[in-house]
Amino acid sequence: MERPAWAPRSIDISVPSVSRIYDFYLGGSHNFEVDREAARKAMEFMPGLPKIMQANRAFMRRAVRFAAAEGITQFLDIGSGIPTYGNVHEVAQAAAPGARVVYVDHDPVAVAHSQAVLAGNESADVIAADLRKPQEILASAPLRRLIDLNRPVALLLVAILHFVEDADDPYAAVAELRAALAPGSLLILTHASYEGIPVPAERAEGTVDVYKDIRNPLIMRSRDDIARFFEGYDMVEPGLVPMPLWRAESAPEEEDPYAFSGFAGVGRTA
């Protein structure tokens, strides 16, 4: 297999990566045949997967603009993936010039791309770190350089927590991050769920199995389990809802049924 110029030497391009599969669903060009193969296999069970990813991105952009309108100029995006078009720093810096953005991902491909995309952008940086180790993120040099934790921060956990198994205690990680944030900070979150998927759960399980096969289990949680991530936050209206229903900018009835798979919400620290 030919290694493209953008692929860091250190990565194994024969193994699918969640961030490259996501890039493929979004119509990006930073993915390999092995990623496309896994994506197509997952889409055999849920053909609308790209629609779910697009709904995620559209929610993320609305939530970032909301945060900027609330006066927040600092953004911490954990599990940021490959920065495709319309990513956090573009949206945030368009809405609030000078906004500071720190991306975090543990996938070397996502980190390498972020570095390339952010070259020359003094107000944005990327950290190679894992959501499961919040202290490493909080102590990192890029975060300390760009983000003042004494002022409100928008913490983005978009389509990431469903890749953290219960054994790794994602609730503790989210609580640890919350404890580090100043009052008035926002948690912007989306999470996969069997609730809202327009196919029977047994069929959706086929997609879950594909992720299990590539050693990136997809953990489907109920709305109540997802709501627990917002402990210690006051929910911003309209609360925890299917993605297209969060402050929609177009008529939800025009959305693809798959866009309603999973939940999105924004919470504010008191």
Pairing of the two strands 124-128 and 186-191:
unpaired
Phi, psi of 255 (to 5 degrees): -75, 155
If one counts the domains in the chain, the total is: 1
- CATH number of the domain enclosing 81: 3.40.50.150
* Residue 6 belongs to some domain of the structure: no
What pLDDT is stored for residue 1 in this prediction?
A: 67
4 pLDDT higher than 80 = no
Q: CA–CA separation, 225 vs 230, rounded Å?
A: 10
Q: What is the pLDDT of residues 67-83, one digit of tens each?
A: 999 999 999 999 999 88
pLDDT per residue as tens digits for the range 79-132: 999 887 789 999 999 999 999 999 999 988 889 889 988 989 999 999 999 999
Task: Indicate whether 25 belongs to any domain.
Answer: no
Whole-model pTM? Answer: 0.94
- CA trace torsion 149, 184, 117, 211 (10° rounding): 100
Question: Has residue 6 got a pLDDT over 80?
Answer: no
Indicate the helix (H) or strand (E) that contains 105: strand 100-105
Query: Which residues share a beta bridge with 126?
Result: 103
**Which structural domain range is residue 159 located in?**
48-205+217-269
* Distance between CA atoms of residues 44 and 50, nearest Å: 12
Would residue 2 be called left, alpha or beta, if left means φ above 0 and alpha means ψ between -120 and 50 degrees? beta
Over range 123-146, report the average pLDDT: 97
pLDDT class of 51 with cuts at 50, 70, 90: very high
Q: How far apart (Å, rounded) are the C-alpha atoms in residues 9 and 6?
A: 9
SS (H, E, C) 153-171: CEEEEECCHHHCCHHHCHH
pLDDT tens figures, 8-36: 777 788 889 999 999 999 999 888 999 99
- Is position 143 within any domain? yes
Quick check: 7 pLDDT over 80? Answer: no
Mean pLDDT across the chain:
94
Rounded distance, CA 40 to CA 56, Å? Answer: 19
> Given CA atoms 105, 121, 177, 128 in this order, what sign does their dihedral have?
positive
Whether 156 and 184 have beta carbons less than 8 Å apart is answered as no
Percent share of the chain, pLDDT over 90: 83
Q: Residue 215 and residue 170: Cα distance in Å, rounded?
A: 18
pLDDT tier, 137 (very low <50, low <70, confident <90, very high otherwise): very high
**Parallel, antiparallel, or unpaired for β 186-191 and 100-105?**
unpaired
221-267 confidence digits (pLDDT tens): 999 999 999 999 999 999 999 999 999 998 988 999 999 999 999 99
The pLDDT assigned to 9 comes to 75
4 in a structural domain? no
Task: Tell me, yes or no, whether 15 lies in a domain.
Answer: no
Q: What is the dihedral of CA 20, 85, 7, 135, to 10 degrees?
A: -70
Distance of alpha carbon 81 from alpha carbon 92, whole angstroms? 17
pLDDT, position 35:
94
- The answer to whether the CB of 257 falls within 8 A of the CB of 198 is yes
Q: What is the pLDDT of residues 154-167, one digit of tens each?
A: 999 999 999 999 99
